[in-house]
Every structure is written in structure tokens, then in C-alpha cells.
């Protein structure tokens, strides 16, 4: 539910023409009743403006953001992929030391956690370094729906958590 809330809040912000650009797990406060509130908007960018503050959180900032290119919604899509990855490894920042290690790490996670392969596809698609081929949340949701390996009854972690539902709710919330 909280992951879905993050996606929904991001979608509302995007619909208002704002790119968060610091869409990380550290910039959301969860109240005792489970409501999520975003904080730390100094990196946010209004698409109608020309001036942007540059920087970002390592591991969550897209390569384009780190290169100080004009912000796009794709920067937040990259961060969404990083958030999903971070939920699996609990520290996405190590990727700045070896960004090419993501593929190998995901292979190990998929095998070790018995996750459907589509989770890897979604993370790699959203975190594609090339902004032209980076997936949108809609593409990630479509891949999840088309995945034969992630049928409604088989996409369940050993601990009982429904990965398919969580990923689908996150991606749907951002669309």
C-alpha cells in the first residue's frame, strides 16, 4: 500500500507539471496511520521553467540528471526503478560504485529470492541509462501484465508477499 501511495503521489505531481528529481525512499515520511508525505522538494523542477537546481541522490538520480541535462519525467521513472530495486536490496546507492553490476546483481536476486524474471526486466527498463529507451511506468505495467512467468497464482514470494501486486501497484500509481 505504501509503495502504491508513493506512485500515486508522484503521478499527481507529474500531472501538475512537476518533476521530483529526488524521488527516493529518504524523502517520504510515513505517519503512524500509514499515510505518506513527501519532503525535500528543493530539487523539484517545474516543466514550464528554464532554471533547474542540479544534483541528486546517488543511486536514484538518472545519468542525465547527474550530467546536468534538462530535467524530464524520465528522471523520475529511473528513480522508480531504483526504488523497486532498493526495496529488494535495501541499499541502491552501491550502484554508483559499479553501475554495470546491476544486471549480475538482479540475476542473483531473481534466483535467490525466486522472483519472476519480469521484475528484472522492469527494473532494467526503468533504469535504462538511455533516456530514449528508458521505460515509462506504462511500459513496465504492460510487461508485468504480459509476463507468462508471473501468473496470478504463481507470483508469490516464499514469505507470502505478492511481488506482482506490489510492483503493479507501484507502476500503476505513477501512470
Which region, left, alpha or beta, applies to residue 100 given φ > 0 means left and ψ of -120 to 50 means alpha? alpha
CA distances from residue 47 to 33, 38, 81 in whole angstroms, order as listed: 33, 19, 22
Query: Mind listing the pLDDT tens digit for each residue in 49-92?
Result: 988 888 888 889 999 999 999 999 999 999 988 888 888 887 77
Coil/strand/helix, residue 45? strand
Count CB neighbours of 86 within 10 A: 19
Sequence-separated (6 or more) residues with CB below 8 Å from residue 48: 17
Parallel, antiparallel, or unpaired: how do β-strands 18-19 and 36-38 relate?
Answer: unpaired
Q: How far apart are CA 55 and CA 29, in angstroms?
A: 21
pTM of the model: 0.74
Q: How far apart are CA 53 and CA 110, in angstroms?
A: 36
Q: Phi, psi at residue 82, to the nearest 5°?
A: -65, -40
Question: pLDDT at position 16, please?
Answer: 92
Half-sphere exposure of residue 103, counting CA atoms within 13 Å on the CB side? 4
Q: Phi, psi at residue 45, to the nearest 5°?
A: -130, 130
Parallel, antiparallel, or unpaired: how do β-strands 28-30 and 18-19 relate?
Answer: unpaired
Q: Find the distance separating the first CA and the last CA of the chain, reported in whole Å.
A: 16
Question: pLDDT at position 167, please?
Answer: 55
Q: Which residues of the chain have pLDDT under 50?
A: 149-150, 152-161
Question: pLDDT at position 156, please?
Answer: 43
Amino acid at each position: 500500500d505504501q509503495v502504491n501511495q508513493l506512485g500515486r503521489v508522484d503521478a499527481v505531481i507529474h500531472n501538475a507539471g512537476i518533476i521530483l528529481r529526488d524521488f527516493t525512499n529518504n524523502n517520504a515520511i510515513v505517519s503512524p496511520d500509514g499515510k505518506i508525505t513527501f519532503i525535500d522538494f528543493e530539487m523539484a523542477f517545474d516543466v514550464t521553467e528554464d532554471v533547474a537546481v542540479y544534483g541528486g541522490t546517488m543511486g536514484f538520480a538518472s545519468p542525465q540528471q547527474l550530467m546536468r541535462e534538462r530535467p524530464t519525467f524520465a528522471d523520475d521513472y529511473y528513480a522508480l526503478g531504483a526504488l523497486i530495486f532498493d526495496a529488494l536490496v535495501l541499499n541502491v546507492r552501491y550502484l554508483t560504485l559499479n553501475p554495470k553490476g546491476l544486471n549480475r546483481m538482479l540475476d542473483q536476486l531473481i534466483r535467490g529470492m525466486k522472483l519472476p524474471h519480469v521484475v528484472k526486466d522492469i527494473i532494467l527498463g526503468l533504469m535504462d541509462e538511455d533516456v530514449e529507451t528508458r521505460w515509462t511506468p506504462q511500459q513496465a505495467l504492460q510487461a508485468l501484465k504480459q509476463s507468462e512467468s508471473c501468473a496470478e497464482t504463481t507470483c508469490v514470494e516464499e514469505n507470502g508477499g505478492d511481488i506482482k501486486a506490489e510492483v503493479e501497484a507501484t507502476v500503476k500509481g505513477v501512470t
